[in-house]
Amino acid sequence: MKKNNEFNAIEFRDDNLILIDQTKLPLCEEYIHTDDYERIAVAIERLEVRGAPAIGISAAYALALAFKKYKGKIDERFVKVHIRLAATRPTAVNLFWALNKMKECFINIHDKENLYTKLLQTAKEIHEDDISKCEAIAKNGLEIFSKKSVVLTHCNTGQLATGGGGTALNIIKKAYQKGLVKFVYADETRPLLQGSRLTAFELEKNGIPFSINTDSTAAFLMQKGMVDLVITGADRVAANGDSANKIGTYNLAVLAKHHKIPFYIAAPTSTVDHECPDGDSIKIEFRDGNELTFIRDTPITKSKYTSFSPAFDVTPAELIAGIITEEKLCKSPFKF
């Protein structure tokens, strides 16, 4: 039986993938139980599961589950499922990293009799690897604290976004436990409110003092000297350190630079795309305009109005004080 402050964002049990439905949080804690790869693909697209590492892990399990009971043409099936999963979210590089790991596994399996078992083992290894990376990121992230600090964060980078304890939010949690974090400001993160729904949910679960604020309040907080440092995650880091993260992150980096506040990114090395030279080469996902004009099923303006809704923006490397990975705290010039 789970304690009140415990939850599993991603779990594989009894040959089913179990995902907490993040679209229902924080008001309702519901779980999706499935062994259908298409249902998992839809969950990724709907943001029922989200966060770059979590997307990659879920896709790995989905690819394995596609062969749980399948008896047809294996090669054609693999290509079809791989293409379907790769099409779900274009910006998060962990998705493609995990799918490539699964592809390598598939190619190297000569005896296809136990295909599901072998693919599933690789998916579990990807999951376990992320758990370890989350802990190492948190440990390395403690280096950025020189005093008990007030932290501002954006979007959600905790247990809900990964297979383990999280990236940026895991650093905040570990730092709080060591007396290095005084308070957290969580941007609400429009349009889907991952901050006010998901980060707030995790901060409450961990007993960390916090408040939520509109994204545009960050400037006021910095102007009044109420923020010591900013930590966010990333969905793709280019080879030069330019980093794509939830829309609104670039705003924070510019504000932090102006107010002489250090801005950090936390992400596993699987988020670094060595084939991507810089931020201009990162493909930005655009979302359905209804995500901007509706909150859940409630319209907040006229749905006929045209909306512009990129899911991510790119923060130039020169605005980033450091990128915290499981290997080390990287500083400019960034070399991974």
Catalytic residues: 235
* SS3 (DSSP) at 34: strand
Query: The sheet that has 31-34: what strands, in order across it?
Result: 10-13, 16-20, 31-34
For 93-127, b where at least 16 C-beta lie within 10 A, e where not — what string?
A: bbbbbbbebbbebbeebeeeeebbebbbebbeebb
Residues with Cβ within 8 Å of 199's Cβ and at least 6 positions away in sequence, in order, are: 153, 155, 156, 157, 158, 169, 186, 189, 210, 212
Residue type, 263: F
Full DSSP string of 72-121: S-HHHHHHHHHHHHHTS-SS-HHHHHHHHHHHHHHHH---GGGHHHHHHH
Both structure tokens of 46: 């709907």
Residues 135 and 119: their CA atoms lie apart, in Å, by 25
**Tokens 């304690």 identify what position?**
3
Residues 67 and 139: their CA atoms lie apart, in Å, by 38
